[in-house]
Amino acid sequence: MYRAMLRPDFDNLKLEHETYKSLFKGTTAQMAATVPKSNKNVIFVVGLPRSGSTLTEQILDSHSRVTGIGEDSRFSAYFGEKVFPRLIRAGNDIAQFQKIINEESIKALNENLGSVFNVNNASIVVDKLLSNYIKIGLIHMLLPHAKVIHTFKKQTIDAKFSLFKKQFQQTTAVWSYDWGDLHKYFDLYHDLIAHWHKTYPGFILDFPYE
């Protein structure tokens, strides 16, 4: 029933992945060095559902200097809804890309990121919105003190089956209700994670869950 009601939009997801890959690589990533940055210490836990992310956040949150904020979507939503459409329209225009990123990052740092990551005066904040794996390029650019922990299951077949048998709330992981859709999503996901590892070596900590 869920498969009939909820259809994953792979065309839009692939467009988003390819856009971020094309914008955050090589010289473009180096040009972004002039963008205003935040000194916030944030740990982003990213990956797929049922990969040990909740346990990872709980372990980190047990430290006296760390506060977990769960799956906070404000950072992701700001760039997904306000910035990404402008980047799409800019295409491969590097000068326009630089202009957009500078404008929006200033707004985000002043109006958005402060409210998201200022929690109980915590020294370190943990954000467990798993889909932030798509925006690792932005995280690296705007939050140079951030850390990214990528949780995953070593056995891909186990990861897929764990998702396939789970009924999620609302529109979460709508690609998990069909075996073919699972394969498509995993291919896109692994391709983008590999891109980030290649572009920002050492920035992402792979944390397998067994």
**Cα-to-chain-centroid distance, residue 92:** 22
Mean pLDDT taken over the chain: 76
Confidence tier at 86 by pLDDT (50, 70, 90): confident
Looking at residue 167, its pLDDT comes to 62
Q: What's the DSSP call for residue 49? A: T
Confidence tier at 119 by pLDDT (50, 70, 90): low
Q: What is the DSSP string of 152-207?
A: E-SSHHHHHHHHHT---STTTTGGGGSHHHHHHHHHHHHHHHHHHHHHSTTSEEEE
Looking at residue 116, its pLDDT comes to 65
- pTM of the predicted model, to two decimals? 0.80
Q: Which tokens in the block code for residue 124?
A: 């370190």
Confidence tier at 45 by pLDDT (50, 70, 90): very high
